[in-house]
């Protein structure tokens, strides 16, 4: 026996042979047997960018006393709490409803790492032990058996969601001002399910994740945040062989008990069909940038300045000779360079991958190069390569277009018998309108490969160069580090939900997701264009960022919501086409701790409702023939007497008819259903095209994205 699950669902994890698993699966009291899957972690100014400045008394942050009273559960690699970043100054007593624990174990000293901010810390490794065949003695030698963070990922995620105020932070000589998490008065509960082996590979076992979810439900968290994922293959929640049957069903039970489940969408972009997992009850988060960017100016002798990426800490350099080779594109090629050609000069090369950068810096360590510029595809974020590999060569990277500008300048100088010169200036911080908003290349894209009729991702949040706390022995500067990934975007949403749970304690997970999606910033509601970075940059669409970039203050007062309950989710499971037995098994023995009732699994109706009618704050039709009519229901959470008028932007090659086209709410009418007929105006097959449907009362603009493929 590895684990016994008792709180959100009934079950256990055990080490079995294939024959034993088959035998147990045939027992009448056993509804389901699933093989243990493996997951991996997905690896400030952002809160002001999102409208949550401490100085605005009317925003969501301050109207909820900065999240005081909410408890954010984090499923990740542990936490390092002995830091000013998690101080509990000004916090009241731990909420009386809290049933979790934060105690000393191994080298985790509760006196140092637990307080009124970090109120829960648990760890789970039994699944890893069984997967790798490790006994207790072996595992104690390899791993730190405690909630302490050995990676830095979990601490960074936890701080982003609910870290405390740290004033006047300096990061590699840059003044970063005051930094904090999204809900600085919320409490944090860490469930350590992420471990790193001696090769540096991260590991999150499915049975460990389920144990963490199970405990989090019992402990009393208000939201669960998960910044890890599995393979790109999507499996149905009722599929007994797929890795996402564990993630999907674990999150289903949390959402069924009113706990929003936030998941990082993955870093496999910009290709389509890479976003996972895609269950409709999960809030799946894509990454965006924010309106702040750290740049390093590169000035050519012709007075053209190019803004590179990287942190240059030294004094501003004088103009130095520039040398570049367009035929040297790999670390192996670099070994052929004549050292005398590059000594005392700034070298620029075109390289393909981040691994090439690491290897090249090491190769160049003794070359006498003054500085190293790399032209490459967009990287996930700014890393301090010098500190990571111990090479002191100043490093800056530029995109391929910028690299070609520098190369063209070099060629022009050579053809004119001039010495090409370049100057590297100290890094600086750009803010506001100088920065273009975009969905970065790495962020995984939709549609869902399993159910393209469920539009994913749901929402985007800042995930590029996010500055947050890390353990002191994990690099960075002054206990903080820049990290990028949807792992950093997800806790932004979790922190915002921590605030929303204070503002609207009775809202369901579906209502919260609806509020986030329908008020997000996009091409219809933001003052400037939002781009999608990747092969052929374009305007971002719903498969890049769902409803758009999160707008927390809008979500506090959305006007209307698209709500759902467990019956809607169960109808979705029925719509996947699996047998009654599999659907019943996936949803059975669910223990409702709030009402002290046990719910048996459902039996699907003879006529299963269309998946297109699932009351999501989005519409996705993957196989439109001539026309289709779908149904949605909105609930008024704004002014009692309200009139909403329709605003439709049909996707290309489609027409849309909505009935009724005016919604009138009063004290007796709080919910109104409407029908949307989408008509193909094009006879040939087509790729997905995008549009939107919105309801406006003059104050609120309740918008949902539409995706249609002929």
Which residues are the active-site residues?
76, 153, 487
Q: Backbone phi, then psi, for 491, in 5-degree steps?
A: -70, -20
Q: d(Cα 449, Cα 462) in Å, to the nearest integer? A: 25
Count of other CB atoms within 10 angstroms of residue 420: 25
Q: d(Cα 484, Cα 222) in Å, to the nearest integer? A: 26
Q: d(Cα 582, Cα 602) in Å, to the nearest integer? A: 10
The two tokens of residue 290 are 């924010």
Query: 660: cis peptide before it, omega within 30°?
Result: yes
Q: Backbone phi, then psi, for 388, in 5-degree steps?
A: -60, -45
Q: d(Cα 467, Cα 620) in Å, to the nearest integer? A: 35
**Residue 126 CA, distance from chain mean position:** 27
Place of tokens 């000013």: 84
Task: Give, in order, the Cα–Cα distances in Å from 429 to each of 45, 399, 432.
Answer: 11, 18, 10
- Burial status of residue 667 (CB atoms within 10 A of its CB: 0-12, 13-18, 19 or more): exposed
- Count of positions (residues) in the chain: 710
SS3 145: coil
Residues 237 and 450: beta-carbon distance below 8 Å: no
The two tokens of residue 484 are 């990028």
CB-facing half-sphere around the CA of 46: CA atoms within 13 A = 33
SS3 675: strand
The two tokens of residue 86 are 């998690």
Q: d(Cα 259, Cα 410) in Å, to the nearest integer? A: 58
What is the DSSP code (8-state) at residue 345? S
Q: Backbone phi, then psi, for 174, in 5-degree steps?
A: -95, 135
Residues 692 and 705: beta-carbon distance below 8 Å: yes
The two tokens of residue 404 are 């070609």
Q: d(Cα 248, Cα 251) in Å, to the nearest integer? A: 5
Dihedral over alpha carbons 146, 151, 157, 160 (to 10 degrees) = 110
Strand order in the sheet with 662-665: 619-621, 701-708, 689-696, 642-649, 662-665
């Amino acid at each position: 026996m590895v684990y016994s699950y008792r709180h959100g669902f009934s079950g256990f994890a055990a080490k079995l042979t294939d024959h034993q698993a088959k035998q147990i699966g045939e027992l009448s009291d056993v509804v389901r047997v699933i093989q243990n899957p493996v997951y991996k972690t997905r690896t400030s100014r952002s809160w002001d960018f999102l409208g949550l400045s401490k100085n605005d008394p009317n925003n969501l942050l301050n109207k909820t006393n900065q999240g005081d009273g909410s408890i954010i559960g984090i499923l990740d690699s542990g936490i390092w709490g002995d830091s000013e970043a998690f101080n509990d100054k000004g916090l009241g007593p731990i909420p009386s409803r809290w049933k979790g624990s934060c105690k000393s174990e191994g080298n985790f000293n509760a006196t140092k790492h637990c307080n009124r901010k970090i109120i829960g810390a648990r760890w789970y490794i039994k699944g890893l032990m069984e997967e790798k065949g490790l006994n207790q003695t072996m595992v104690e030698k390899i791993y730190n058996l405690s909630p302490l963070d050995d990676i830095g990922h979990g601490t960074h995620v936890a701080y982003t969601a609910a870290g405390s105020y740290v004033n006047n932070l300096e990061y590699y000589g840059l003044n970063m001002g005051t930094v904090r998490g999204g809900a600085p008065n919320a409490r944090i509960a860490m469930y350590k399910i992420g471990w790193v082996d001696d090769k540096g590979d991260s590991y999150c076992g499915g049975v460990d994740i389920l144990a963490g979810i199970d405990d989090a439900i019992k402990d009393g968290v208000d939201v669960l945040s998960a910044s890890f994922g599995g393979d790109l293959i999507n499996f149905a929640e009722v599929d007994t062989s797929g890795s996402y049957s564990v993630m999907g069903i674990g999150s289903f039970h949390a959402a069924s008990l009113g706990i929003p489940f936030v998941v990082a969408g993955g870093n496999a972009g910009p290709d389509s069909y890479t976003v996972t997992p895609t269950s409709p009850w999960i809030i799946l988060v894509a990454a965006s940038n924010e309106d702040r960017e750290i740049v390093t100016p590169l000035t050519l002798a012709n007075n053209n300045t190019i803004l590179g990426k990287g942190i240059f800490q030294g004094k501003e350099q004088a103009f130095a000779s520039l040398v570049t080779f367009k035929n040297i594109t790999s670390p192996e090629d670099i070994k052929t360079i004549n050292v005398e050609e590059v000594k005392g000069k700034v070298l620029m090369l075109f390289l393909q991958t981040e691994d090439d950068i690491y290897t090249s810096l090491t190769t160049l360590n003794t070359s006498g190069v003054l500085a190293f510029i790399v032209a490459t595809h967009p990287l996930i974020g700014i890393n301090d390569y010098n500190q990571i590999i111990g090479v002191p060569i100043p490093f800056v990277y530029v995109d391929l277009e910028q690299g070609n500008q520098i190369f063209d300048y070099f060629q022009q100088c050579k053809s004119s018998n001039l010495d090409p010169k370049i100057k590297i200036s100290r890094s600086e911080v750009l803010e506001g309108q100088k920065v273009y908003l975009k969905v970065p290349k790495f962020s995984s894209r939709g549609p869902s490969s399993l159910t393209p009729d469920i539009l994913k991702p749901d929402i985007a949040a800042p995930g590029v160069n996010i500055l947050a706390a890390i353990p002191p022995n994990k690099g960075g500067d002054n206990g903080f580090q820049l990290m990028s990934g949807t792992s950093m975007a997800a806790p932004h949403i979790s922190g915002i939900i921590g605030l929303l749970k204070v503002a609207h304690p009775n809202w369901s997970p579906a209502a919260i997701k609806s509020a986030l999606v329908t008020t997000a910033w996009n091409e219809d509601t933001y003052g400037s264009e939002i781009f999608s970075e990747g092969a052929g940059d374009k305007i971002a669409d719903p498969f890049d960022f769902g409803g758009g970039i999160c707008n927390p203050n809008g979500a506090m007062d959305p006007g209307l919501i698209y709500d759902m309950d467990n019956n809607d989710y169960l109808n979705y499971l029925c719509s996947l086409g699996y047998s009654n037995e599999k659907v019943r098994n996936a949803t059975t023995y669910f223990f409702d701790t709030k009402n002290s009732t046990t719910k048996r699994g459902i039996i699907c109706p003879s006529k299963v409702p269309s998946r297109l009618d699932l009351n999501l704050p989005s519409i996705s039709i993957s196989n439109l023939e001539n026309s289709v009519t779908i149904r949605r229901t909105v609930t008024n959470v704004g002014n009692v007497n309200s009139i909403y008028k329709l605003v439709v932007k049909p996707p290309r090659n489609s027409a849309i008819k909505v009935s009724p086209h005016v919604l009138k709410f009063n004290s007796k009418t709080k919910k109104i259903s409407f029908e949307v007929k989408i008509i193909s105006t094009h006879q040939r097959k087509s790729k997905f095209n995008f549009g939107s449907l919105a309801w406006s009362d003059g104050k609120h603009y309740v918008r949902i994205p539409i995706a249609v493929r002929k």
